[in-house]
Amino acid sequence: MTDTTRRGLYAFGWNSKLRKTDDFSSVFRFKRVHRGANLDIFFSQNGLPYPRLGLIVPKKILARAVDRNRTRRVLREAFRLGQPGLSGLDVVIRVKAAGQDADYRAQWELFMRKRVSRSPAAPGNEMNG
């Protein structure tokens, strides 16, 4: 694999982000869910050849902007590295409790292991963890 191909495979560009309210609503409406101690990870098929990410990091949970931004960076990087296993999915990650960066990464990795080990199910089914 060339360096250019590797960069393309793990790129996180403008198209990789959920931006519209309708996109978020679609994920919540036709979702499957992985629930962890600090994160809820919602996901659904998007009909595109690449995955997209939406992040919800409430001020109520992380009051300081620096903490919210750091959490977004950690989660975005974990998503970026896991993109090859998520093609065709919209993923929304909601932070529901404050935690360490390692906690968020560990919960994401658990989601990825479960995602890879299970076959896709019908929309609306839940994957609890």
Question: What CA–CA distance (Å, rounded) separates 57 from 116?
Answer: 26
The pLDDT tens digits for 22-68 are: 989 999 998 789 898 899 999 999 999 889 999 999 999 999 999 99
Domains defined for the chain, CATH in brackets: 15-115 (3.30.230.10)
Instruction: Decide: residue 51, CB within 10 A, 0-12 exposed, 13-18 middle, 19+ buried.
Output: buried
The pLDDT tens digits for 71-101 are: 999 999 999 888 888 888 999 999 998 888 8
pTM of the predicted structure, to 2 decimals: 0.79
Higher-pLDDT residue of 107 and 4 is 107
